[in-house]
């Protein structure tokens, strides 16, 4: 049984209308002009990282594969397009049989990226590739932004556990995608049950202040929670007086109390006081969880505090100030005719500003120094240098329309940990800076 079987709004039967209208008008004109079948190569990349960020994190790849598979135009959609004259009869006939039959290559999920990195490469006819632009960018820009914020928070946490709890701070479907991206970026669990169901992410949650306020006394609330969930539960101790709540919590649950949660006040000071009180009461193994508008800077500031886990919401699901990665989807090569053997011709946008692009079907590799630390992102269009032959970053995700690169979410999470560890140590600094390694074009 999956999300669709249960009727949960975390999947859709088709992703075909997750697109901008100009994708369809371009298709219409290309079909009329005889250029729709020209073999084409589109690439996803970003010209710059968000201000101050030192690396990006690829996330959402698995969701892109789902979107490509589900990109179908059913009768209802086709009729809607016809009624509004968005597509003419020729275009509607073409869309009715649409299936992506091309190839997709990309950085595997969890990998890091830099300005100019060809994060995704989509190859096929112009018509079948251009339709995917909006949905691909929608997914990658959102998920990669969340994963980058999660990675910074994970680094700042220094091995302490992280709970994603931002569902109430974003769109209900974005919340599911955010939890997934946060898990790739290093978070350990989520409060969102739809994310747990859809992606098998560990879920956690106990009680809010409302549960304490429901009862006549705080002790009554604690007793009810312990009776229901066991001594290993987490009790929220800042509804009234923290010291009194901690004392009551240990008296009711005993030294086996799992954890206490602090959601307000000077978290650094309160955490130290609570730790001392717990130890004095014999609850030395009781953990301390802190929440309350945390971001990577707040987490870093609590490094010296006796904190065991952090719960993060708003700042995580909004990318900690950078809710998008500014990725673009650009045509970089195309054939001069519909002949499948026609050679590819590099194409690129010329611009007086910062919106120019580089033509040609690209490969990417990461050059390491003698210590195995990344020193450059190398991007090229010609032969791959021999010394970089085994350092290629792109893997095949779709072959002749069939998904070949799907993998467990755990693989992406593990990959990110390894990729981040191979970056220079300055990558982990939270201070503003340039990309931690340069992008070299050959």
Q: Are residues 341 and 422 in the same domain?
A: yes
Tokens of 201: 């992410």
Q: Read off the pLDDT band of 384 (50, 70, 90).
A: very high
Asked if residue 414 belongs to a domain, the reply is yes
Could you give the CA distance from residue 46 to residue 357 in angstroms, rounded to a whole number?
A: 10
Q: Which pLDDT belongs to residue 351?
A: 72
Q: Which pLDDT belongs to residue 195?
A: 97
pLDDT digits (tens, 9 = 90+) for 64-85: 999 999 999 999 999 999 999 9
Last residue of a domain, one of 321, 345, 379: 321
Q: Which pLDDT belongs to residue 12?
A: 56
Asked if residue 138 belongs to a domain, the reply is no
- Give the CATH number, domain containing residue 40: 3.20.140.10
Q: Are residues 410 and 424 in the same domain?
A: yes
pLDDT digits (tens, 9 = 90+) for 351-378: 766 777 899 999 999 999 999 999 999 9
Torsion region of 7: left, alpha or beta (phi above 0 gives left; psi -120 to 50 gives alpha): left
Asked if residue 141 belongs to a domain, the reply is no
Q: Are residues 116 and 150 in the same domain?
A: no
Tokens of 101: 């039959």
Q: Which pLDDT belongs to residue 10?
A: 47
Last residue of a domain, one of 302, 321, 340: 321
Instruction: Give me the mean pLDDT over the 291-300 stretch.
Output: 96
Asked if residue 287 belongs to a domain, the reply is yes
pLDDT digits (tens, 9 = 90+) for 220-255: 999 999 999 999 999 999 999 999 999 999 999 999
Q: Are residues 115 and 51 in the same domain?
A: yes
Last residue of a domain, one of 300, 321, 342: 321
- Give the CATH number, domain containing residue 232: 3.20.20.70
Percent of the chain with pLDDT over 70: 96
161 bridge partner residues: 309
Instruction: Give me the mean pLDDT over the 256-278 stretch.
Output: 97
Burial label, 177 (beta-carbon count in 10 A; 0-12, 13-18, 19+): buried
Asked if residue 140 belongs to a domain, the reply is no
Q: Are residues 196 and 251 in the same domain?
A: yes
Asked if residue 389 belongs to a domain, the reply is yes
Q: Helix 89-96 to helix 75-83 angle, to the nearest 10 degrees? A: 170
Q: Are residues 56 and 123 in the same domain?
A: yes
Average pLDDT, the chain: 95
Please tell me the total count of domains within the chain: 2
pLDDT digits (tens, 9 = 90+) for 171-190: 999 999 999 999 999 999 99
pLDDT digits (tens, 9 = 90+) for 121-169: 999 999 999 999 999 999 999 999 999 999 999 999 999 999 999 999 9
The b/e string for 217-241 (b: 16+ C-beta within 10 A; e otherwise) is ebbebbbbbbeeeeeebbbbbbbee
Q: Are residues 96 and 175 in the same domain?
A: no
Q: Are residues 317 and 338 in the same domain?
A: no
Tokens of 206: 């106990």
Q: Are residues 76 and 207 in the same domain?
A: no
Q: Which pLDDT belongs to residue 5?
A: 52
Domain that holds residue 215: 146-321
Q: Read off the pLDDT band of 432 (50, 70, 90).
A: confident
Residue 441: φ, ψ to 5°: -105, 130
Q: Which pLDDT belongs to residue 201?
A: 98
pLDDT greater than 70 at residue 208:
yes
Could you give the CA distance from residue 337 to residue 38 in angstroms, rounded to a whole number?
A: 6
Q: Are residues 233 and 110 in the same domain?
A: no
Could you give the CA distance from residue 262 to residue 190 in angstroms, rounded to a whole number?
A: 18
Asked if residue 139 belongs to a domain, the reply is no
Asked if residue 172 belongs to a domain, the reply is yes
pLDDT greater than 70 at residue 2:
no
Q: Are residues 208 and 101 in the same domain?
A: no
Give the number of C-alpha atoms closer than 13 A to the C-alpha of residue 389, restricted to the C-beta side: 4
Instruction: Give me the mean pLDDT over the 24-48 stretch.
Output: 97
Sheet of 374-380: strand order equals 363-368, 374-380, 439-441
Q: Which pLDDT belongs to residue 14?
A: 83
- pTM of the shown model: 0.94
Burial label, 374 (beta-carbon count in 10 A; 0-12, 13-18, 19+): buried
Residue 142: its H or E element = helix 133-157
Q: Are residues 311 and 343 in the same domain?
A: no
């Amino acid at each position: 049984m999956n999300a669709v079987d249960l009727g949960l709004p975390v999947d859709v039967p088709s992703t075909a209308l997750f697109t901008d209208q100009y994708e369809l008008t371009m298709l219409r004109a290309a079909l009329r002009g005889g250029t729709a079948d020209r073999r084409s190569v589109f690439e996803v990349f970003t010209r710059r990282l968000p201000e101050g960020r030192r690396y990006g994190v690829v996330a959402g790849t698995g969701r892109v594969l789902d979107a490509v598979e589900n990109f179908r135009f059913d009768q209802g959609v086709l009729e809607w397009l016809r009624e509004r004259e968005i597509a003419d009869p020729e275009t509607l006939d073409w869309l009715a049989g649409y299936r992506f039959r091309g190839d997709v290559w990309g950085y595997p999920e969890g990998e890091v990226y830099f300005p100019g990195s060809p994060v995704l490469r989509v190859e096929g006819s112009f018509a079948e590739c251009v339709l995917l632009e909006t949905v691909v960018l929608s997914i990658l820009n959102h998920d990669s932004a969340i994963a980058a914020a999660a990675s910074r928070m994970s680094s700042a946490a220094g091995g302490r556990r992280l709970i994603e709890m931002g569902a109430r701070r974003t769109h209900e479907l974005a919340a599911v995608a955010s939890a997934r991206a946060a898990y790739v970026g290093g978070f350990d669990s989520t409060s969102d049950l739809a994310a747990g169901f859809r992606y098998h992410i560990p879920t956690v949650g106990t009680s809010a202040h409302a549960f304490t306020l429901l009862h006549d006394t705080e002790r009554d609330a604690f007793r009810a929670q312990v009776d229901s969930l066991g001594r290993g539960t987490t009790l929220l101790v800042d509804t009234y007086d923290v010291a009194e709540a901690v004392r009551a919590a240990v008296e009711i649950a005993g030294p086996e109390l799992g954890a206490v949660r602090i959601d307000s006040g000077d978290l650094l000071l309160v955490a130290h006081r609570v730790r001392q009180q717990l130890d004095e009461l014999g609850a030395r193994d009781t953990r301390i969880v802190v929440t309350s508008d945390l971001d990577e800077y707040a987490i870093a500031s609590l490094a010296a505090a006796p904190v065991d886990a952090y719960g993060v919401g708003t700042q995580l699901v909004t990318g900690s100030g950078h809710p998008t990665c500014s990725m673009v989807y650009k045509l970089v090569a195309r054939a001069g005719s519909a002949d499948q053997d026609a050679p590819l011709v590099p194409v690129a946008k010329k611009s007086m500003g910062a919106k120019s692009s580089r033509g040609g079907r690209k490969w990417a590799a990461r050059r390491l120094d003698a210590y195995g630390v990344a020193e450059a992102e190398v991007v090229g269009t010609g032969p791959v240098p021999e010394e970089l032959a085994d350092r290629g970053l792109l893997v095949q995700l779709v072959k002749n329309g069939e998904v070949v690169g799907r993998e467990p979410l755990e693989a992406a999470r593990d990959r990110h940990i390894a990729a981040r560890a191979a970056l220079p140590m300055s990558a982990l600094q939270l201070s503003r800076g340039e990309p931690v390694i340069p992008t070299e074009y050959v």
